[in-house]
Amino acid sequence: MEPFSCDTFVALPPATVANRIIFGKNSDRLCDEVQEVVYFPAAVHDNLGEHLKCTYIEIDQVPETYAVVLSRPAWLWGAEMGANEHGVCIGNEAVWGREEVCDEEALLGMDLVRLGLERADTAEKALNVIVDLLEKYGQGGNCTEGRMAFSYHNSFLIADRNEAWILETAGKYWAAEKVQEGVRNISNQLSITTKIDREHPNMRTYAKQKGWWDGKKEFDFAAAYSYLDTAKMMTSSGRYCEGYKLLNKHKGNITFETMMEILRDKPSGINMEGEFLTTASMVSILPQDSSLPCIHFFTGTPDPERSVFKPFIFVPHISQLLDTSSPTFEPEDLVKKKSHFKPDRRHPLYQKHQQALEVVNNNEEKAKIMLDYMRKLEKELFRQMESILQNKHLDVDKIVNLFPQCTKDEIQIYQSNVSS
């Protein structure tokens, strides 16, 4: 079982239906880690002398940040995945290779996800933000709360309404691949081979110095910077290959519902179970027609098969997402240093979801009834979102409360099952 084995996917026309780009990610982390769904409005930062505190380190702030919605482990500053008001989506993956991982505290890959979303209005600009910060501050630090030390390098899938970028890193070195059509996925391995559209200026020189590349044969990033046999990459039984197969199976007909089915797939290992499991999931619809809104679905609970994908649309004055926001503990720095102290970070939705699952786990009939109600709620939400995209009509007053109301409806299903 691969720890922290996330999977991120993107499908672009002509692989999708109705000129939409579809983004999806499963975040696979320790089974008892809570992931919250939170919203931060756009902001102007007048006092640029003030530093921004990320998970471990402080960095320079920028004059303006965009509104973001994030799915994140509740103990840290960054995010596993998220979107911004301009339709940029980012998900990251843990990757390892020949370059040693730095244990020193720097920026986490999850911090870079949030920083890319807060500071960029296109996918390529988000890539620029991430690689600039990587150069300036480096990546490193423990990626878990408390009991185990665990660090890694990062890969990122960044998408907007027009294109996607794969960015893969090894320390401060990186390569990027532009994706303009079809399907692409990333898992816990380097996957950029010879199609390199942008790169760290010293990336090849460094590989040559280390003896990872002879300087003669065609440069292959994954082959040089990891131990992969890239010739066998698409035929192995790993989740990267399984994910690619699932995307290809539906090529030409991929919708947001197809992406959710892929994230719910257990035989492939993409919907992970065990000590490391899928703790949260996200799917986004990014229409190429800029007059249509982007729609972002989040679960905020473990196991997408037994969760509800709830929609979020950026509009002004959004209601706070209280039922998916975890309690905060002050000061967080002290909490992080007390390895014996594990605060209860469960938000209201997570608590009700877990209670309901405990009840139905021992009752097959109850489990079926509850799942039927969850799917009915989801289908109705999908119908409403499709109607918005078809009719180009957005009731802003209703959308302000869209995600919070969906969460309340989901909680209602769990409460009635627990009490019945």
pTM of the entire structure?
Answer: 0.95
Task: Report pLDDT for 1.
Answer: 38
Q: Phi and psi for 219 in degrees, rounded to 5?
A: -75, 130
Q: Give the tokens for residue 8.
A: 């991120």
Q: Give the tokens for residue 299.
A: 């679960």
Task: Report pLDDT for 47.
Answer: 83
DSSP structure class, residue 107 = B
Contact 70, 114 (CB under 8 A): yes
Task: Report pLDDT for 418.
Answer: 82
Task: Report pLDDT for 150.
Answer: 76
In the chain, the N- to C-terminal Cα span, in Å, equals 37
Which one from 6, 143, 294, 406 is the annotated catalytic residue? 6
Which domains does the chain show, CATH number per domain? 7-336 (3.60.60.10)
* CA atoms within 13 Å, Cβ hemisphere of 282: 31
**In a structure prediction context, what are the per-residue pLDDT tens digits for the chain, which is 420 residues long?**
355 579 999 999 999 999 999 999 999 998 999 999 999 999 999 987 889 999 999 999 999 999 999 999 999 999 999 999 999 999 999 998 998 888 789 999 999 999 999 999 999 999 999 999 999 999 999 888 876 677 888 999 999 999 999 999 999 999 999 999 999 999 989 999 999 999 999 999 999 999 999 999 999 999 999 987 777 777 676 899 999 999 999 999 999 999 999 999 999 999 999 888 999 999 999 999 999 999 999 999 999 999 999 999 999 999 999 999 999 886 655 545 555 567 999 999 999 999 999 988 889 999 999 999 999 999 999 999 999 999 988 999 999 999 999 999 999 999 998 887
Task: Report pLDDT for 341.
Answer: 67
Nearest to 115 by CA among 152, 151, 88, 142: 88
CB burial string 354-375: b at 16+ within 10 A, e below: eebbebbeeeeebbebbeebbe
Nearest to 281 by CA among 269, 263, 296, 306: 263
Distance between CA atoms of 343 and 327, rounded to whole angstroms? Answer: 9
* Beta strand residue intervals within 130-275, DSSP E: 153-159, 164-170, 173-179, 182-186, 198-199
In the residue annotation, 102 being an active-site residue is answered as no
CB burial string 226-265: b at 16+ within 10 A, e below: bebebeebeeeebbbbbbbebbeebeeebbbebbbebbbb
Distance between CA atoms of 380 and 267, rounded to whole angstroms? Answer: 28
Query: 18 in the Ramachandran plot: left (φ > 0), alpha (ψ -120 to 50) or beta?
Result: left
The helix (run of H) or strand (run of E) holding residue 130 is: helix 123-137
For helices 256-263 and 239-249, what crossing angle results, to 10°?
A: 150
Distance between CA atoms of 151 and 5, rounded to whole angstroms? Answer: 13
Task: Report pLDDT for 393.
Answer: 87
Task: Report pLDDT for 336.
Answer: 55
